[in-house]
Amino acid sequence: MPETLNVAVCICTGVTLSDFIPNIEILAELNDADDPVFSKLQGIVDVPFRVKFEYLSPTLDPVVSLRGKCAPTFNPTTTYAAAKASGTQYDIIFVPAGEPSVPEDLIAFICTQRPRFALRQEGDDEQGILSHYRGVFSSVQGIKFDLTHGFIEAATPKDIKWVTKARWAVDGNIWTSSGVAAGYDMVLAFIEHLVGPPTARVLRDAAEIRDATQEDDPFAEFHGLV
């Protein structure tokens, strides 16, 4: 029987929609293994995990994205405070970029989740935090982070170990990517970590995303970081 992984998608005002919606769609394709027709056609077999998503925000009000009210808004399903109060622990936390100042309740929420990650047992590799550039860096310290290159000089706190040339970076169970499209490669690499290369290969080809490695980062030179 496949195990269901609970995914918390942490959003707030100013979120970049393309930072999380395509990534969630890619991750959600793990659930296609339950469709016998699709799984047979695509070659998705023996997938040990399914995913269930919850969308968290400071309030239940529709979240206005970076592009303002002219762009689609997004309806959260619960609040950080409610999730914290319920003691819910998630298997995967996905934090796209939002407003420059990360909401305090988001930081508090992540801090209640991190002890479970720190205490994970061998074999519990499915637990992880995934983030786009400045989505989560201000709430953790002493971690290697990739970041959209234009934000590195302004990033705080200073004890974070920035990786200036990387498509994405991994430190333990924390995965971070640089700009928008880099997140697709990070999520596909995470899927490969979860379920192995064959399924990740199928999902990459289905989405028509070219192969990339962590070192495939031409934009570091463009921004003068190497």
| pLDDT > 90: percent of the chain | 34
Q: What is the pLDDT of residues 12-51, one digit of tens each?
A: 888 889 889 999 999 999 998 888 776 666 666 788 999 9
- DSSP, res 65: B
Cα of 7 vs its chain's centroid, Å: 9
Q: What is the pLDDT of residues 96-147, one digit of tens each?
A: 876 666 778 888 888 888 655 544 444 454 457 787 554 454 444 434 444 4
**Residue 73 pLDDT:** 94
Domain ranges of the chain: 3-140+172-213
Collapsing DSSP to helix, strand or coil, 50 comes out as: strand
**Residue 23 pLDDT:** 93
Q: Which residues contact 70 (CB under 8 A, 6 or more apart)?
A: none
What does the alpha-carbon distance between residue 85 and residue 81 come to, in Å, rounded to a whole number? 6
Model-wide pTM > 0.85: no
Instruction: Choose the CATH number for 3-140+172-213 among 3.40.50.12780, 3.40.50.880, 3.40.50.300, 3.40.50.970.
Output: 3.40.50.880
Supply 185's token pair.
Answer: 């490669």
**Residue 139 pLDDT:** 42
